[in-house]
Structure 1
Amino acid sequence: MGNCCPICQPGQIAGFDAEIQCRVSLRVFTTGFRSQITGITMAGLVNWMPLLNGFSSMSSGTSEHVSAPRLGGPYAWLVWSLAAIAFGYAFFHRVTPSVMVSDLMTEFAIGGAMLGTLSALYFYPYVLLQVPLGGMLEVFGTRRLLSVALLLAGIGSFLFGTAHSLEVAYLGRILIGIGSSVGFLGSLALASKWFPANRFAFLAGLAMFIAMASGMAAQAPLAFFIDLYGWRSSLLALGIFGFVLAALVFLFVRNAPAESAVPPDAAADAVSPSASARWSDLFASLRLAMVSADVWKMAIVAATMAGPMLALGGLWGTPYLMVAYDLTRTEAALYMSLLLLGWAISSPTSGWLSDRIGQRKLILVWGSGLMSVMMTIIIFVPQLPFAVTVICLVMMGLSGGVMPASFALVRDVMPTRLVGATTGIVNSMTVASGAILQPLVGLALDLSWDGTIMDGARHYAAADYRIAFLLVLASLVIGLLTAFSLRETPLEDGTL
């Protein structure tokens, strides 16, 4: 290829494959100096397109459109992976209180109910935002919303980590919840635009795998870190990570492949004229989705499978193992992470299986039923051997990991224009299950507490935990009964 620029010589730009060619006009301004470089010809700019978009947004000249990256290509994986990591970051925050129970109770002089409320404050804004987020992602784009959300989560981490009053801790936890709300839906939105439709269930499961792996990191590894440096330092480190991830998302994520061929500002301008129409469509879709019995059935099944994982893996499972089997915090967190490991393994594999056999309902029924059996054993078998408890936790994770199939069922059953709103409703209910169960279990523990204080925190007996876990079992039974009535045939607008 010949040289078209007097400044660049062939071979000076290394590491670029010969996939595409583009011409970009750049105008670089510095104090007291102005130069213009035109006609730079490069090959293989697909993987560097976000950087060039940033440059071209500073240019006063024009830039020619570049062919968009292909669906499912390397750049698609980069874009989706950043959103999936953001979801993992959100999930890490979701379960961190489980290894801080005694620290937080002592620091803020609170009991189980108040601790459950502090942990659940993450979920309340998260839940409220899920329904409108489906439309907001279409109007404003995943890139913008996810970047801002991660910044808020980082700020919330700093507030929580430096809090010396319960009110400041509340505010920090709320900001973390707001900032964490975009990750999962953002990853689904990018998966739907950057990958073929037949990869959707697998990618939803893979996102859940990343989240569960993050949840595992928030168990024994985080407990070890807290033992060394304290719970405040861990939250400050999480805040820094959130800021770095926000910058990476803003630099590299594009809402759709076509946007990688034009500057981000131009892409945003292309969306804005139809913003009011999109909002109108959003509210119309929400009205239809919220009156559909099928939507609420899918939401209930998903929520009752997610709830036990959030109640046990997210808060109360680790202290239960510490009391029931005389384990250290790090040991208990390590074994509780097996629940998340089972979920992590099952999510992508069950997503792949449901895509292969096309049987979402069957998988959800079996998953919900097996979770109910395992929870029944943990609660009602007296003096359950530790090895059996560990097996039950792993099996609960494996069976609960089929929950992402409910999102694939949404795509199968709902009319296309209602998928976004329905996904938001279903996801909001999965998170609401944690917001409901965590404080309820804490309240049940407080009601059965015998007044014992150890190391400045309330001490609950193993029997108290098993009684409180009856609430978890009740939710599982409700979900199982609902799963039998799920629809698998597509709905039309007129049948909603």
Structure 2
Amino acid sequence: MSSTGHAAYFHSAHKWSPEGHRKVGGSEAWLIWVLATLFVVWLFAIQTGYAVVSPNIQTSANLSIAQIGLAASAYTWAFAVVQFFSGSLLDRFGTRPLLTIAVALVTVGAFLYAGTTNFGTLIVAQLVLAIGASFGFVGAGYVGGKWFAAARYGLMFGLVQSFASLGSAIAQPLIQASLSVISWQQLLVAFGAFGVLLVILFIMFVRNPAPQLGAPAVAAPAGNVFGQIFHDLAQAFSNYRVVLSAVMAGASFGAMLAVGVLWGPRLMEARGATDDFATILTGLAWLGLAVGAPIVNVISNRWHSRKWPAFWALVFQAAAIALVIYLPNVADGAALVLMFAIGLFAGGHMLGFTIAGEAVKGELIGSASAIVNGFCFIVAGVLTSVPSLFLPDAPTIGSFQDTLWLLPVVVVIGCIAALIMPEKKLAEVVAA
């Protein structure tokens, strides 16, 4: 491929490296993408593993359920704030410094997590984890966009979400099984040790792409970087389709994350499920997301519509969440189906990124995506913290039913955002 062809696929700041030209879609590209995806899977396992280890942390550190919920929300809020900057920072500085630093931060966070003895330590661990993790998902998407042909960007991004969700589905039962053999502190130290290995691999192999001759691999950012980021974010926020897509995706993924990270297993345990079965049910929700995330854009293209697949996915997700919370008796088989359905229909949140990307100019796609992803975690923070403030220390199923009504209501708000979303001429978009 000519240098002109390469320029179509790479940001102009990433040009030539003194280490030599690197092939688009070649073996090095796949190695870097695998490492970036492994980073996402690893940090998702730590993140969703909080649902499994939080009862142990609560007991060991003598915390209340409100403090456990606030710690979970601290992670999501910090993640959301840093998320607004991560995409633009990657555009300006590249993967080599930032992703390695991000992996190192998550590693430090895992060790802090293992050393939790009080509420303050837990909060610090969550904040450090969140700052590093905020570069994970968007960083893997960035690698897919820079190291592979433009036409494969959507596929590579969808695969990252699928692997991350699948990893979460597998990790939770494995974490639960591990806790019968080792302590939760030893488990988190093992996560941290893996992070040390990952940092070494990132230092050794992760590079920035180099499509053109005669310039440094990453050009120095011009002007005030943060001023430019705020300007781009303001422009993206001024587009009402971006705002509606952020509300829609935030409602869907925020409810999914609240169920998958905290409330799912707690609710099932209150219904009388064993710890092992509750963990399996939560893992099924993540498995559903692994299935739903990559196919929603296929359905959207077939229907020649963005809003209606998103709307119906949100409707079914709200119904599944409401049934899990309010059905008087949930048989084991029905619980398995409902939890899988929550994740499956949460895959509709991926259309929020698609809608936002199609609503803005090319140079604002990163900012628009950051807004959508940031909203996802802001909503998740609200849905993990607010209910915990109103729950007693020993909640019953009735206590959960009186409090968790917020989850389906928020998803219904997402339905409304999807319903009033103006439809773009998708036939032209799909044909392009």
Quote the Cα distance in structure 2 between the aligned partners of 1:283 and 1:173: 26
What's the counterpart of residue 261 of structure 2? 314
Matched, 1:288 2:235: yes
- Residue ranges of structure 2 left out of the alignment (5+ in a row): 1-16, 426-432
Residue 347 of structure 1 aligns to a residue whose secondary structure is helix
What's the counterpart of residue 416 of structure 1? 362
**Among residues 106, 115, 126, which one is paired with 1:173 in the alignment?**
126
Q: CA offsets per residue over residues 54-93 of structure 1, 9 Å max, x none? A: xxx9xxxxx6x744313x3443222222212212222122
Matched, 1:140 2:93: yes
Please tell me whether the aligned partners of residues 22 and 28 of structure 2 are also in contact (alpha carbons under 8 angstroms). no
1:443 shift after superposition? 1.8
What's the counterpart of residue 307 of structure 2? 361
The aligned amino acid for 2:318 is S
Quote the Cα distance in structure 2 between the aligned partners of 1:280 and 1:104: 41
> Any residues of structure 2 matched to 1:78-477 within 5 Å, and which?
78-258=31-211, 266-268=216-218, 271-272=219-220, 274-276=221-223, 281-324=228-271, 326-354=272-300, 358-446=304-392, 458-477=393-412
Please tell me whether the aligned partners of residues 101 and 319 of structure 1 are also in contact (alpha carbons under 8 angstroms). no
The aligned amino acid for 2:141 is L
What's the counterpart of residue 7 of structure 2? none
Which moved further from structure 2: 120-129 or 173-182? 120-129
Give the alignment's Cα RMSD to 1 decimal: 2.3
TM-score by length of 2: 0.88
1:204 shift after superposition? 2.2
Residue 276 of structure 1 aligns to a residue whose secondary structure is coil
1:475 shift after superposition? 0.5
Percent identity over the alignment is 26
Please tell me whether the aligned partners of residues 208 and 404 of structure 1 are also in contact (alpha carbons under 8 angstroms). no
What's the counterpart of residue 14 of structure 1? none
Aligned in 2, Cα 1:178/1:375: closer, same or farther, shift over 3 Å?
Answer: same
Aligned in 2, Cα 1:262/1:129: closer, same or farther, shift over 3 Å?
Answer: farther
Quote the Cα distance in structure 2 between the aligned partners of 1:433 and 1:163: 26
- Count of aligned residue pairs for this structure pair: 410
1:479 shift after superposition? 0.4
Q: CA offsets per residue over residues 280-301 of structure 1, 9 Å max, x none? A: 5433212211233222111111
Q: CA offsets per residue over residues 161-204 of structure 1, 9 Å max, x none? A: 01222212211111111111101111121222222333233222
Quote the Cα distance in structure 1 between the aligned partners of 2:120 and 2:302: 49
What's the counterpart of residue 36 of structure 1? none
Quote the Cα distance in structure 2 between the aligned partners of 1:138 and 1:369: 36
Aligned in 2, Cα 1:256/1:354: closer, same or farther, shift over 3 Å?
Answer: farther
Quote the Cα distance in structure 2 between the aligned partners of 1:101 and 1:171: 15
Residue 100 of structure 1 aligns to a residue whose secondary structure is helix
Larger radius of gyration: 1
Quote the Cα distance in structure 2 between the aligned partners of 1:257 and 1:379: 52
The aligned amino acid for 1:369 is V
1:257 shift after superposition? 4.6
Aligned in 2, Cα 1:143/1:480: closer, same or farther, shift over 3 Å?
Answer: same
Which moved further from structure 2: 213-222 or 230-239? 213-222
Residue 349 of structure 2 aligns to a residue whose secondary structure is coil
Please tell me whether the aligned partners of residues 108 and 166 of structure 1 are also in contact (alpha carbons under 8 angstroms). yes
TM-score by length of 1: 0.77
1:279 shift after superposition? 5.2
Q: CA offsets per residue over residues 388-434 of structure 1, 9 Å max, x none? A: 22211111111111222221222222111111111111111111122
> Which has the larger strand fraction?
1
Please tell me whether the aligned partners of residues 135 and 279 of structure 1 are also in contact (alpha carbons under 8 angstroms). no
Quote the Cα distance in structure 1 between the aligned partners of 2:112 and 2:64: 21
> Which has the larger helix fraction?
2
1:137 shift after superposition? 0.7
Aligned in 2, Cα 1:213/1:222: closer, same or farther, shift over 3 Å?
Answer: same
1:364 shift after superposition? 1.1
The aligned amino acid for 1:227 is S
1:313 shift after superposition? 0.9
Quote the Cα distance in structure 2 between the aligned partners of 1:176 and 1:277: 27
Please tell me whether the aligned partners of residues 201 and 404 of structure 1 are also in contact (alpha carbons under 8 angstroms). no
Please tell me whether the aligned partners of residues 342 and 398 of structure 1 are also in contact (alpha carbons under 8 angstroms). yes
The aligned amino acid for 1:179 is G
1:355 shift after superposition? 5.1
Aligned in 2, Cα 1:74/1:405: closer, same or farther, shift over 3 Å?
Answer: farther
Quote the Cα distance in structure 2 between the aligned partners of 1:378 and 1:331: 15
**Among residues 9, 18, 22, which one is paired with 1:68 in the alignment?**
22
> Any residues of structure 2 matched to 1:19-34 within 5 Å, and which?
none
Please tell me whether the aligned partners of residues 364 and 405 of structure 1 are also in contact (alpha carbons under 8 angstroms). yes
State the structure with bigger RCO (CA 8 A, min sep 6), 1 or 2: 2
1:138 shift after superposition? 1.3
1:368 shift after superposition? 0.6
1:302 shift after superposition? 0.7
Aligned in 2, Cα 1:445/1:236: closer, same or farther, shift over 3 Å?
Answer: same
Please tell me whether the aligned partners of residues 57 and 116 of structure 2 are also in contact (alpha carbons under 8 angstroms). no
- Residue ranges of structure 1 left out of the alignment (5+ in a row): 1-56, 58-62, 447-457, 491-496
Please tell me whether the aligned partners of residues 166 and 290 of structure 2 are also in contact (alpha carbons under 8 angstroms). yes
Aligned in 2, Cα 1:204/1:117: closer, same or farther, shift over 3 Å?
Answer: same
The aligned amino acid for 2:269 is M
**Among residues 420, 424, 430, which one is paired with 1:489 in the alignment?**
424
The aligned amino acid for 1:220 is P
Quote the Cα distance in structure 1 between the aligned partners of 2:21 and 2:325: 59
The aligned amino acid for 1:466 is Q
Quote the Cα distance in structure 2 between the aligned partners of 1:219 and 1:316: 14
Please tell me whether the aligned partners of residues 305 and 479 of structure 1 are also in contact (alpha carbons under 8 angstroms). yes
